[in-house]
Chains A and B, each alone.
Chain A
Amino acid sequence: MLQVNNLHTYYGNIKALRGVSFHVDKGEILAFIGANGAGKSTLMNTLAGTLKPNAGEIIFEGEDITKLAPRDRVKKGIILCPEGRQIFPKFTVEENLLMGAYTVFDKELNKRNYEKVFELFPQIKDRQKQLAGTLSGGEQQMLAIGRALMSEPKILMLDEPSLGLSPILVEQIFDLINEINHQGTTILLVEQNAMAALEISDRAYALETGEITIEGTGEELLNNDVIIKSYLGG
């Protein structure tokens, strides 16, 4: 579904990605784990189109999208739910969701997706008219994911969805990610919380200083000695 070949991206003066190649299969949950500064967010932003790669190509459903603007990628079905949620704090929950539907002009479809978001996240349904900036961290994360879902993505990219959340909420968010995946959305996940990410992912890559060092199924990585030592605190 998504094929990434030999991606090199600078973040400022730092070469944050040094030839990253991987693929995402339709319907799977793919995770990237890695420490702070490994290049995870740079990778996400390069895929979303807010950072331009210096070399390499991104092929989505057989089409080269390396040079497309973020808006055109969203229209094709790739959207990034960014690190730190980046919701619109002065907008209500409802307005935030409407911004996620900026590429969808079909009113009926928007209505259906709007309802679907609240089926997934009943917690924020009662807060439709509340300002997003006043929501709790977990609710803001749900809103951020819901906003991204409003564009009807084929691939939902999630950058550190567990950041700053309590363990119970982390579990809840990952259950919901699983649920979104079951409903047919392919998930590309980037996490420092390796344990939580590997448990729900079909396949995973470990990213270290801009290069992929280990790959395998989620289970293989959970049992990999290097992974246990470096990421699972073993």
Chain B
Amino acid sequence: MLLQILVNGLSQGSIYALTAIGYSLIYSILQLINMSNAAVFLTSAVIFYALYTSLTGSSIALTFILTLMAAGMIGYIIEIIAIRPIREKGDSNTYALISSIGVKTILEQICQGTFGSEIKQFPTLLDGKYIDLFGARTSAIQIIIILTTLCILGFMSWFTQHNRVGRGLRALSQNIRACHLMGMPVNTLIGISFAVGSMLAAVSGVAYCMYLKSISISVGSAIGNKAFAATVLGGIGELKGAVVGGYILAIAENLVSGYWSMSASNFISFGILILVLIIKPTGIFGKKEQKKV
């Protein structure tokens, strides 16, 4: 039973973690909570569904790659249209936050308009295959989600440590002015951070719908909010915090729903969110922010 809960928690936590990285990455650079992230989660799943049912029906891999590319472009465009003009005027982050909520609403409306409001069947991998893991009955897709996420986390770790662009993103989170002075392409890098966040949300969105084997217009906000709670729990602005927060939250939820009640598990995320904000607003890994003068 406990092992079963753990596996469920890990696969669900993977989905939270991927989306949470997007929140954390952009926050670390711009101190902005990018609310459009959850809508990109939904939009990507809808794009995947639309591509799969109309064009690329035979290949999940091809559909996935095209969806990732689309999500990256959407993220980059969101930054150019909705965030950059506010940033460059030097206006407060509150304006950018509201702008990102606007983007979220628009994307959700577009999805609703094109997709409709009913629940539809979503393509999945290795349907009906189960793996017996030391007595825990695990669906194959759960294992795929966990392993894929581990690969992505490994890649992200390499990307931010050893890649020129990834290092640039970390430099931005430390001192944007110095980045300008060193001749770094600051706007492009910020655009890339949105693209990366969106692509991770896309993986998360597609994985979640594959796990559910269904898609509806409400998947984005449910997971988006919990991923945000996970980000805060781990310490917003810290990428490893987003990951750890995601897994802790999902395992806690599964423990509650396993040993107590399903409906109570939904309160856990937001209960934790409020508790963290009261007791340690900087989260597990977050450090007290030093105000730059």
Contact = CB atoms under 8 A, between A and B. Distances in A.
Interface in A39-80: 48-50, 70-71, 73-75, 79-80
A80 B181 CA distance: 6
Interface stretch (B14-22, B59-67, B102-110, B164-172): B164-172
Given A70-B180, A71-B183, A80-B181, A98 B174 contact: no
Interface of A: 48-50, 70-71, 73-75, 79-80, 82, 86-91, 95, 98-100, 102-103, 147-148, 151
A74 B183 contact: yes
Contacts of B185: 71, 102
A90 B181 contact: no
Contacts of A48: 181
Contacts of B291: none
Contacts of B167: 91, 95, 98-99
A80 B182 CA distance: 8
> Which 9 interchain pairs have the tightest Cβ spacing?
A74-B183, A103-B183, A86-B178, A71-B183, A102-B184, A88-B174, A70-B180, A99-B171, A80-B181
Nearest to B180: A70
A86 B170 contact: no
Contacts of B175: 86-88
B168 A99 contact: yes
Nearest to A69: B180
B179 interface: yes
Given A91-B171, A99-B168, A99-B171, A82 B177 contact: yes
A102 B185 CA distance: 9
A213 to B, nearest CB: 28
B183 A70 contact: yes
Contact of A50 (B170, B171, B177): B177
A75 B185 CA distance: 11
A79 B164 CA distance: 20
Contacts of A71: 180, 183-186
A148 B182 CA distance: 7
B115 to A, nearest CB: 41
A151 B182 contact: yes
Contact of B174 (A73, A82, A89): A89
A90 B170 contact: yes
A152 B186 CA distance: 20
B174 A79 contact: no
Interface string B176-214: 011111111110000000000000000000000000000
A91 B174 contact: yes
Contacts of B171: 88, 91, 99
Given A86-B178, A103-B183, 10 more contacts: A48-B181, A71-B183, A86-B177, A91-B167, A99-B167, A99-B168, A99-B171, A102-B168, A103-B184, A151-B182
Contacts of B180: 49-50, 70-71
A82 B178 contact: yes
Nearest to A86: B178
B283 to A, nearest CB: 17
A137 B281 CA distance: 32
Contact of A147 (B164, B168, B182): B182
Contacts of A82: 177-178, 181
Contacts of A79: 181-183
A85 to B, nearest CB: 9
A25 to B, nearest CB: 24
A89 B174 CA distance: 7
A74 B180 CA distance: 9
B274 to A, nearest CB: 30
Interface string B79-112: 0000000000000000000000000000000000
Question: By CB atoms of chain A within 10 A, which of B175, B181, B184, B186 has the most?
Answer: B181
B241 to A, nearest CB: 15
Question: By CB atoms of chain A within 10 A, which of B164, B170, B180 has the most?
Answer: B180
A147 B178 CA distance: 11
A199 to B, nearest CB: 27
